[in-house]
């Protein structure tokens, strides 16, 4: 074990007890804490998945395929701009905040928060203006009706509430995954309830845009408020001032600008595997196929979601282990966690094969059943991605964000033209084939540098010994 992390709760303190071989195989306290934190998120994500599917089902049944497709395109466009605009500053909070707190450098930690909070604020403002300008220019290309454009331009300003990286990093750093779980559920429930009210009252697509906007705003405000509240409870805001201590906000955090730019660009490139697929289908095939693709992705990812929750949960563990130079234990942690997560994902694939078509018919209606073939390919691609879930976090936590960025750049450069070509030649199913290809490509592309990094670190430790 390394030195104790100062903000661990009692349940996280290691206890040396007798372990059976099976217990020993499942690893040390870090692996159990990793799955425990993921389990906390899963509790909220289970409700979130149910509420999210219910919200989509309500909108799909109330609006029909065409109108639902327009709603999905407006919402996906807004999410895309939000992801492009915001810095992934939560990763900087973990990467630089962990050693600052371990060393008791509260002043440095507060300076880091000022830095990341300013990034969030300015990117939220820039993203809001960008979303309106791009929506006004490109809305007709996605077949958004002219009479709907005013409502769409208002809706895209919800980007302002999507930039919440600093409080996300704070809550992950102090192991308050329960709050993150509540926040993720809150928006889905409001979207479901608001959509239900709109449906009952006979509201059209504008009513659904209002309900979804309110859900985004409430969830964003809640997370920001809780993040700063938790810091205040721990005394980490004592003496805090937005004007700072006279030092540059990035002072003492070597390479932080390069880090945040790299992680931001890497996250932006990752959009190619999420929202860009829906937008590409909508642009090339129209709102109807965009609706089918979005439903397929939502249902497919819901089955694979439990294992994917390990990604945010593993970042704090990796940061602590790298700080303590526990590379052997770290390698064991990612191997075992990937194996367990991959096994769960394979089970999700089997479930989807047997009940996917029936689920589509029951949840969203007969007219969405054609989404089943592409849904199977999207689930299979998600399974491949889950097997590789620890790889990119290892590179980012180890300060190799620039290498992770290079991987994202060239794999995205390969994937985008393949996606467009497959949609053009094969239609909707082509988007699923392209996604599967990209998942395998990304797995191999991250695995090679991670294996090389571990070999180098282990060799360094042997030479020191």
For the cut 80, the answer to whether the pLDDT of residue 65 exceeds it is yes
Residue 25 in domain: no
In this structure, are 328 and 372 located in the same domain?
yes
Q: Give the pLDDT mean for 252-258.
A: 79
Query: Residue 367 in contact with residue 422, Cβ under 8 Å?
Result: no
Structural contact between residues 435 and 379, judged by C-beta atoms closer than 8 angstroms: no
Dist CA 164 CA 117 (whole Å): 9
Do 349 and 447 lie in a common domain?
yes
What integer is the mean pLDDT of 147-174? 90
Question: Domain count of the chain?
Answer: 2
Q: Using CA atoms, how far apart are residues 198 and 209, in angstroms rounded to an integer?
A: 10
348 in the same domain as 296: yes
Tell me if 151 is assigned to some domain.
yes
Residue 14 lies in a domain: no
The per-residue pLDDT for range 305-314, each reduced to its tens digit, is 665 666 666 7
Give the per-residue pLDDT at 130: 92
Residue 155 near residue 79, CB atoms below 8 Å? no
Residue 356 has pLDDT above 50, yes or no: yes
Has residue 316 got a pLDDT over 80?
Answer: no
Confirm whether 299 is domain-assigned. yes
Rg (CA), the chain: 22
Residue 22 has pLDDT above 50, yes or no: no
Q: Flag whether 19 is in a domain.
A: no
Please check whether residue 368 is in contact with residue 374, taking contact to mean a CB–CB distance below 8 angstroms: no
Q: Does 353 share its domain with 276?
A: yes
Residue 39 falls inside a structural domain:
no
Our measurement of the distance from residue 435's CA atom to the centroid of its chain's CA atoms, rounded to an integer in Å, reads 17
Report the pLDDT averaged over residues 259-284.
80
**More confident call, 317 vs 169:** 169
pLDDT for 305 equals 64
Distance of alpha carbon 45 from alpha carbon 293, whole angstroms: 21
Same domain, 338 and 223: no
Tokens representing 392? 């990119």
Mark whether 211 and 290 lie in a shared domain.
Answer: no
One domain, residues 331 and 245: no
Residue 187 has pLDDT above 60, yes or no: yes
| Residue where one domain finishes, among candidates 234, 254, 274 | 254
How many residues does this entry show for the chain? 465
99 pLDDT more than 70 = yes
State how far the Cα of 159 lies from the Cα of 275, in Å rounded to an integer: 15
In a domain, 22, yes or no: no
Q: Higher pLDDT residue, 213 or 383? A: 213
> Residues 245, 286: one domain?
no
d(CA 454, CA 330): 9
Q: Are 375 and 356 in contact (CB under 8 A)?
A: yes
Which stretch, 5-9, 177-181, 404-408, has highest mean pLDDT? 404-408
Domain range holding 439?
258-464
SS (H, E, C) the chain: CCCCCCCCCHHHCCCCCCCCHHHHHCCCHHHHHHHHHHHHHHHHHHHHHHHHHHHHHHHHHHHHHHHHHHHHHHHHHHHHHHHHHCCCHHHHHHHHHHHHHHCCCHHHHHHHHHHHHHHHHHHHHHHHHHHHHHHHHHHHHHCCCHHHHHHHHHHHHHHHHCCCHHHHHHHHHCCCHHHHHHHHHHHHHHHHHHHHHHHHCCCCHHHHHHHHHHHHHHHHHHHHHHHHHHHHHCCCCCCCCCCCCCCCCCCCCCCHHHHHHHHHHHHHHHHHHCHHHHHHHHHHHCHHHHHHHHHHHHHHHHHHHHHHCHHHHHHHHHHHHHHCCCHHHHHHHHHHHHHHHHHHHHHHHHHHHHHHHHHHHHHCCHHHHHHHHHHHHHHHHHHHHHHCCCHHHHHHHCCCHHHHHHHHHHHHHHHHHHHHHHHHHHCHHHHHHHHHHHHHHHHHHHHHHHHHHHHHHHHHHHHHC
Domain boundary among 190, 219, 254: 254
Q: Is the pLDDT of residue 241 over 50?
A: yes
State residue 21's pLDDT score: 45
Instruction: Report pLDDT for 394.
Output: 85
HSE, side-chain direction, 13 A CA sphere, residue 265: 16
Same domain for 225 and 265, yes or no, is no
Mean of pLDDT values over 153-160: 94
Q: What's the pLDDT at 86? A: 78
Between residues 420 and 202, which one has the greater pLDDT?
Answer: 420
Residue 446, classified by CB atoms within 10 Å of its CB into exposed (0-12), middle (13-18) or buried (19+), is buried
| Rounded average pLDDT over 375-397 | 86
Cα–Cα distance for residue pair 368/361, rounded to 1 Å: 7
Distance in angstroms (rounded) separating the CA atoms of residues 185 and 305: 14
For residues 176 and 160, membership in a common domain is answered with yes
- Give the CA distances from residue 32 to residues 21, 25, 239, 313, in Å, rounded to whole numbers and listed in that order: 15, 11, 36, 11
Domain termination residue (choose one: 192, 227, 254): 254
């Amino acid at each position: 074990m390394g030195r104790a992390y100062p903000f661990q709760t009692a349940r996280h303190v290691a206890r040396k007890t007798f372990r059976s071989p099976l217990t020993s195989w499942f690893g040390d306290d870090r692996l159990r804490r990793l799955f425990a934190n993921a389990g906390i998120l899963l509790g909220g994500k289970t409700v979130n998945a149910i509420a999210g599917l219910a919200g989509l089902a309500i909108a799909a049944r109330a609006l029909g395929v065409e109108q639902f497709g327009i709603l999905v395109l407006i919402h996906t466009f807004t999410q895309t701009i939000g992801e492009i605009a915001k810095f992934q500053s939560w990763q900087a909070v973990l990467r630089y905040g962990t050693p600052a707190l371990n060393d008791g450098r509260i002043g440095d930690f507060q300076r880091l928060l000022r830095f990341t909070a300013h990034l969030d604020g300015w990117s939220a403002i820039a993203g809001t203006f960008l979303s309106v300008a791009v929506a006004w220019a490109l809305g007709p290309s996605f077949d958004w009706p002219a009479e709907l454009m005013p409502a769409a331009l208002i809706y895209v300003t919800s980007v302002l509430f999507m930039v919440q990286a600093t409080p996300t990093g704070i809550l992950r750093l102090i192991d308050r995954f329960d709050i993150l779980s509540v926040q993720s559920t809150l928006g889905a429930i409001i979207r479901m309830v608001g959509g239900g009210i709109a449906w009952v009252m006979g509201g059209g697509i504008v009513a659904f845009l209002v309900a979804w906007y309110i859900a985004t705003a409430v969830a964003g405000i809640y997370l920001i408020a809780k993040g700063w509240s938790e810091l205040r409870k721990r005394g980490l805001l004592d003496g805090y001032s937005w004007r700072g201590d006279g030092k540059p906000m990035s002072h003492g955090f070597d390479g932080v600008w390069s880090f945040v730019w790299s992680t931001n660009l890497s996250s932006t490139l990752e959009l190619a595997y999420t929202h860009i697929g829906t937008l590409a289908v909508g642009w090339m095939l129209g709102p109807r196929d965009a609706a089918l693709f979005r439903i397929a992705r939502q249902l497919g990812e819901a089955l694979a979601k439990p294992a994917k929750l390990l990604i945010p949960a593993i970042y704090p563990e990796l940061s602590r282990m790298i700080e303590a130079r526990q590379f052997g234990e770290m390698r064991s942690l990612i191997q075992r966690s990937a194996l367990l997560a991959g096994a769960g994902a394979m089970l999700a694939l089997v479930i989807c094969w047997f009940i996917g078509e029936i689920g589509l018919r029951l949840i969203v209606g007969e007219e969405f059943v054609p989404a089943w073939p592409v849904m199977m390919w999207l689930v299979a691609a998600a399974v491949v991605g889950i097997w590789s879930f620890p790889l990119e976090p290892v590179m980012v936590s180890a300060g190799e964000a620039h290498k992770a960025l290079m991987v994202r750049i060239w794999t995205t450069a390969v994937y985008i033209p393949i996606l467009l070509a497959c949609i053009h030649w094969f239609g909707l199913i082509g988007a699923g084939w392209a996604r599967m290809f990209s998942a395998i490509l990304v797995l191999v592309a991250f695995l090679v540098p991670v294996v090389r990094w571990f070999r180098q670190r282990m060799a360094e430790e042997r030479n020191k010994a």
